[in-house]
Amino acid sequence: MRHDISYLLSRIVNSPTLLRHVFFSSTTGAIPDVAFQVPFPRLEIVLEGQLLDSGIVGEQALMTEHDALFVPAGGWNFPQWREPVTTLSILFGKQQLGFSVQHWDGATLHNLNKEHVARRGPRVGSFLLQALNEMLMQPHEQSTARLIIASLLSHCADLLGSQIQTASRSQALFEAIREHIDTHYASPLTRESVAQAFYISPNYLSHLFQKSGVMGFNEYLNHTRLEHARALLKGYDLKVKEVAHACGFVDSNYFCRLFRKNTERSPSEYRRQYHSQLTEKKLNGE
């Protein structure tokens, strides 16, 4: 079985007849010490196998493949892990949704996949959860319960899909900005000028670089300019000041300090060492 959460949600949403019985957890009575109870609504779905749960309204019940259990905020359930079973859990927190795919192999509980997505946009999910809360009083209305569950899963799938698209757009924008810097490194680029060129705020530009986890905007700009400076020092007999200006550094003294910081050599020393090594290789016939 695939454990990709978007796939699992889409599979049920596109085939709503897969949903079988919708159970509702208990909100009253003595709560076992090892029961699961959180202040947020939850949805538990059996994907494969079967699971005995002691926290279901009315009685202990055996959940089988594609049965769902709705646990309202403050409610509890008590699964009995006995036979192999795979489940999908969805936690509806105030700020985000949490997804978890778990598998009990008969001896150990394994976390197969975890994911989360921010709750944003229209309050569709809140209205559907409210409808399920109303169903607590009418658990026998199974057709209605299945439709609400299917709609809720569709909403979850939409949020996950939106997150993936947003991440893809952000990555595409980040790559375009890097390409812009790689092309225009010799120009007087600043965080503000690059942000303006892409119609975004300077803070969001910094966020994109921070999100990449490699280096910040200024660090990447300097890194790109220094790479081109090395190439000029190796291939052309230009003055250090000319190299600095050709690579976008207005202040040649700053260029020299930055170059030494990154290579532990001055630009002139770097050039001499490179040509010395090149001459030595030629003499050795390499």
What pTM, to 2 d.p., does this model score? 0.60
CA angle 46, 51, 55 (to 5 degrees): 100
Angle between helices 217-235 and 202-212 (to 10 degrees): 70
Mark whether 152 and 231 lie in a shared domain.
no
Q: b/e map of 79-97 (b: 16 or more CB within 10 Å)?
A: bebeeebbbbbbbbeeeeb
CA–CA distance, 215 with 212 (Å, rounded to integer): 7
Mark whether 160 and 198 lie in a shared domain.
no
CA–CA distance, 128 with 123 (Å, rounded to integer): 9
Residue 171 lies in a domain: no
Q: pLDDT tens digits, the chain, 286 residues: what are they? A: 678 898 999 888 888 788 999 999 877 767 877 788 889 999 999 999 999 887 787 667 889 999 999 999 988 888 888 899 999 999 999 888 999 999 999 888 899 999 988 887 668 889 999 999 999 888 899 999 999 999 999 999 988 888 766 677 788 889 899 999 999 999 999 999 999 999 899 999 999 998 876 789 999 999 999 999 999 999 888 999 999 999 999 999 999 999 999 999 999 999 988 888 777 766 666 5
Mark whether 189 and 160 lie in a shared domain.
no
Torsion sign over Cα 145, 147, 151, 153: positive
Mark whether 113 and 255 lie in a shared domain.
no
Mark whether 90 and 138 lie in a shared domain.
yes
What is the separation of C-alpha 223 from the centre of its chain, rounded to a whole number of angstroms?
27
- Give the residue among 204, 217, 207 at the shortest CA–CA distance from 178: 217
- Give the residue among 38, 97, 120 at the shortest CA–CA distance from 71: 38
Mark whether 155 and 97 lie in a shared domain.
yes
Mark whether 139 and 210 lie in a shared domain.
no
Number of domains in the chain: 2
From residue 276, give the alpha-carbon distance in Å to each of 256, 264, 273: 21, 17, 5
Mark whether 195 and 273 lie in a shared domain.
yes
Residue 170 lies in a domain: no
CA–CA distance, 193 with 203 (Å, rounded to integer): 12
Mark whether 267 and 216 lie in a shared domain.
yes
Of 132, 165, 198, which residue sits at a domain end?
A: 165
Of 112, 136, 165, which residue sits at a domain end?
A: 165
Per DSSP bridges, beta strands 42-53 and 68-71 are: antiparallel
Residue 158 lies in a domain: yes
CA–CA distance, 87 with 45 (Å, rounded to integer): 6
Residue 276 lies in a domain: yes
Specify the CATH number for the domain of residue 248.
Answer: 1.10.10.60
Residue 177 lies in a domain: no
Of 110, 133, 165, which residue sits at a domain end?
A: 165
Beta strands in the chain (DSSP E): 22-24, 36-37, 42-53, 61-64, 68-71, 76-77, 79-80, 85-92, 96-104, 109-118
Residue 147 lies in a domain: yes
Q: How many helical (H) and strand (E) elements, i.e. helices and strands, does the chain have?
A: 9, 10
Name the amino acid, one letter, at 201: S
Residue 25 lies in a domain: yes
Residue 180 lies in a domain: no
Mark whether 86 and 199 lie in a shared domain.
no
Mark whether 141 and 18 lie in a shared domain.
yes
Show the domain range for 222. Answer: 185-286
Mark whether 161 and 189 lie in a shared domain.
no
